[in-house]
Amino acid sequence: MNQKLIVRAVAAALAAVVLLGAGYVAGARRSSTDTSMADMPKAPAMSASGDNVDPKSGRKVLYWHDPMVPNQHFDKPGKSPFMDMQLEPVFADEGGSSGIKVDSGLQQNLGIRYATVRRQDSAEGFDAVGTTQFDESMADVIQSRVTGYIDHLYASAPLQRVTKGAPIASLFVPDWLAPQEEYLALKRGGMDDGLLAASRARMQALSIPDGLIASLDRTGKVQTHVTLFAQDAGVLTELNVHNGAMVSPGQTLAKVAGLSTLWLIVEIPESLAFQAQPGMTVDATFAGDPTRHFSGHIREILPGISADSRTLQARLEIDNTGLKLTPGMLMRAHVSGAKPVSRLLVPSEAVITTGKRSIVIVKNDDGRLQPVEITVGNDGADNTEVKSGLTEGQQVVASGQFLIDSEASLKSVLPKLDGMTQPDPAGGAK
């Protein structure tokens, strides 16, 4: 009897355990199902016309999205698959326009200022830098035409200023002695004019100056020294001899370069090489006196690109009659063509350059701000030429660009703006 009671008690206990386990499993499944149903996107309320309507505001909804991933669109509300947050609606009255809306108070706090895209007729040109140099085409080369010796050197060192007609060097020419003595002997001997003419021609062939021969006829004294003079005023750019040195025919003793005309060598960036043409007008100023302008026309484009600066050189002559300039000065030059060209301009500060593209923030007719990629041309001091992407009269953000901190901010912010401006017409996910 006792044994039967024990068996029944054990059986009852086992049955109770089984029932408790079954109840726990059923409860867990019910809880999981409820949770899953809660996470599933709920069907939005529908208007009489079949459009999605936000139950809170009653506004028409175009689609739902995660603000952190704005390019991904959903046709129903629910939890974002990307972030631990609910999807947010984009309403028809704000999603159909391009760009983003910025509160007027926020614009004032950010110091946003607008500028109008304008068209201006100006000569096609660009800014560059240039350096003044001696005009080598006008240099006076002083050479020896005979074999002789430097008897006296009047010039002391290179870069010495000399006046027109100033003596440079005195040469002693021993080879001139014999033909002059011969000429005087023929003349004293009463020889006919034919012999005297032949002797005179010999002296001229030996480069004896006509003035010295005339002096020989007049005075009867032999001259073995000749002085070389500077033909024009300028600077002694070369001095290749010293006192007592022997010189030979054709040897350059010195070189004198004038200062009344200088060369301006303009460094043209390689990217603008095709725009530079001979005949273009150049207006140059010097930092020491920016009110004084020096102008000229490009005479020639020098061949070759500098490997160090990646620039093409253009050469022109500038008038320096007042001797205000000296070789080696750095000049600011504006190169322009003779024919005006109509160009679309925006303030240079409005252009955002990332290295790969150029962008401006445009203000639409409804007041929204939208990034627009543009193609830029010449960049002047204050304005930048726009080749494409804008039209005349548009408004662009000229200062206070809160989106413009660095290229990193452009990569993170502007794609979001572009994503918000392209709603999915079908209302489905992109």
What's the mean pLDDT in 282-296?
Answer: 87
| pLDDT classification of 264: cutoffs 50, 70, 90 | very high
pLDDT of residue 134: 93
pLDDT of residue 248: 92
Least confident stretch, 88-102, 135-149, 187-201, 211-225: 88-102
Q: Which residues contact 66 (CB under 8 A, 6 or more apart)?
A: 72, 80, 81, 82, 83, 85, 87, 88
The SS3 assignment for 207 reads coil
| pLDDT classification of 263: cutoffs 50, 70, 90 | very high
pLDDT digits (tens, 9 = 90+) for 56-115: 767 788 888 776 676 688 888 888 888 788 888 877 665 445 556 666 776 676 678 889
pLDDT digits (tens, 9 = 90+) for 31-61: 444 444 444 445 555 554 556 777 776 778 8
What's the mean pLDDT in 319-328?
Answer: 88
pLDDT digits (tens, 9 = 90+) for 156-169: 889 899 999 999 99
Place of tokens 């109008």: 116
pLDDT of residue 132: 94
Closest CA to 259 of 186, 161, 141: 161
| pLDDT classification of 229: cutoffs 50, 70, 90 | very high
189 has a pLDDT exceeding 60: yes
Q: Which residues contact 275 (CB under 8 A, 6 or more apart)?
A: 124, 126
The SS3 assignment for 44 reads coil
| pLDDT classification of 12: cutoffs 50, 70, 90 | low
SS3 sequence of 47-77: CCCCCEECCCCCCEEEEEEECCEEEEEECCC
Closest CA to 323 of 161, 130, 158: 161
What's the mean pLDDT in 170-175?
Answer: 92
15 has a pLDDT exceeding 80: no
Say how many CA atoms lie within 13 Å of 405 toward its Cβ: 7
117 has a pLDDT exceeding 90: yes
Closest CA to 44 of 90, 94, 96: 90
**Which comes out higher in pLDDT, residue 344 or 428?**
344
Q: Is 217 left (phi over 0), alpha (psi -120 to 50) or beta?
A: alpha
pLDDT of residue 236: 92
Contacts 24+ apart (CB under 8 A), 407-413: 407/354, 407/355, 410/352, 410/354, 410/359
42 DSSP 8-state letter = P
Q: Percent of the chain scored above 70 by pLDDT?
A: 74
pLDDT of residue 103: 65
Distance CA 359, CA 49 (A): 41
Average pLDDT, the chain: 78
Q: Percent of the chain scored above 90 by pLDDT?
A: 23
Distance CA 235, CA 255 (A): 8
| pLDDT classification of 324: cutoffs 50, 70, 90 | confident
297 has a pLDDT exceeding 50: yes
Q: Where are the alpha helices (DSSP H) in 230-328?
A: none
277 has a pLDDT exceeding 50: yes
pLDDT of residue 313: 92
What's the mean pLDDT in 5-23?
Answer: 53
Contact 137, 257 (CB under 8 A): no
